[in-house]
Structure 1
Amino acid sequence: MKIDIVSVFPEYFDVLNLSLFGKAQAKGLIEVHAHNLRDWTHDVHHSVDDTPVGGGAGMVMKPAVWAECLDELLGLEPADATPDAAVDTATDTAAGKPVLIFPNPSAPLFTQRDATELSHADHLLFGCGRYEGYDARIPAYYRAQGVNVREYSIGDYVLNGGEVATSVMLEAITRLIPGFMGNPESIVEESYTGEGALLEHRQYTKPAQWRGLNVPDVLLSGDHGKVDRFRRDEALTRTNDIRPDLIEQLGCKALDKADRKTLMALGWEVSGEHPRRRGK
């Protein structure tokens, strides 16, 4: 996978040379290039922003600078927008074309499903906004040129720029590339993973007793069936307590008898298509 990142602080991404990400680059699984947006400016101050049209606080990143940068990285010639050329982003990820991604706190939430889909792309290009953000015509223009453009938020909060959000998304995406993780089985039961995603059960290591706190006895029993059931029940319970919205997305037909028993004890009806809170 080729990864291009555009930022006014490209040195921020030196961190990608560490740990598994660094090893993946050394193995040739991913190729990362961080670009300084100011390299595409032409004024003495290397300005990338201007005041917002209509007034207001802060500064907005200019479309002309971004366009010169993105045209070069995407191999496009300048052209007027042609809206009819916009791609269907739901089907175009694996077509060998680049995916252009802008972190944006006002965009749809980035999920594990998005990470899984994007892990199959050949080329990701991230544009890191700053200040009050980027001119809205930038993603609109590239969609109209037929580019697969995504805008994502990583949560209900605002950061100073898109660099942190880009790092978060990159880690979620690249760890799903075959060969990235040392043990691929480690991602199978993780939170939010797969159909019927739940929060992961709690994990423990040795010693079995530490500062008056004990590992649950069942995990020491050697009975793999009981261990699996304990972990599944804990995943259901934790999800019920923390993210009940994920319980509501489960398919009742995919639940086994023990799952149904656990959910019913937690106050769910499991006779329909999806679980629902008793009394709702």
Structure 2
Amino acid sequence: MELENINQYIRSVELNREKIRSFSEYPYSLQAIRKLNVLRFHPSVTFIIGENGTGKSTILEAIAIAYGFNPEGGTKNFNFSSMDTHSNLYSNFKLVKGVKRPKDGFFLRAESFYNVASNIDELDKDGPGPRIIDSYGGISLHKQSHGESFFSLFINKFRGEGIYILDEPEAALSPSRQMSMITRMHELVQKGCQFIIATHSPIIMAYPNSVIYEINNGFKEVKYEETEHYQVMSSFINNKQKMLDILMEER
């Protein structure tokens, strides 16, 4: 990874291990957290990848909350809560920030974006002043498909000089939209934005100006072609019939 830039918004996260009572309790029992000391972020894009259950979303959530975002997502101005399910990991995270403060920011959680959309509609219905939805494209996110609402967020809400923490943004996006997301990410990176993304998408994680951390019994920096996601997808596409025969053979 290139040297940290003191102007990047989040330079690293440190786990205050001395404050943790027990590493046998969740989420500290997760291998990724048990072995975590310091995780350094790329000035532009950091990908966190791994199998289901390895702790990607838990860690991303803690980073976002420690930075001041609402646990269910949105900007720092969102303070709604539909269900209190987040862990206390954020209280044991120390974020090392750069000298420059962002002008924009957003925490996207695919699983709770519906709640963000609902909160926007409620605030616009009850509150005076300019409509919040106008900064998201002007059309209620509930009146768009799941994928359209995600992409509307990327195109309309995200601006320059922002910090964007995204948990599985590909969840509602078609492959072509995922490629379009790379284009949008690149535009925003050139405008001074920083992304921290947890993803399963081999398309999105192909963005070159980045670092990829793979969770597998701890964090390991890997090259794109070394990721399990790339290797599995490549093997399936290039050997479709053989892979199908293996997957569907009678046992």
TM-score, structure 2 as length reference? 0.31
Q: Between Structure 1 and Structure 2, which shows a larger proportion of strand residues?
A: 2
Higher RCO (CA-CA < 8 Å; seq separation 6+): 2
TM-score, structure 1 as length reference? 0.28
Greater C-alpha Rg = 1
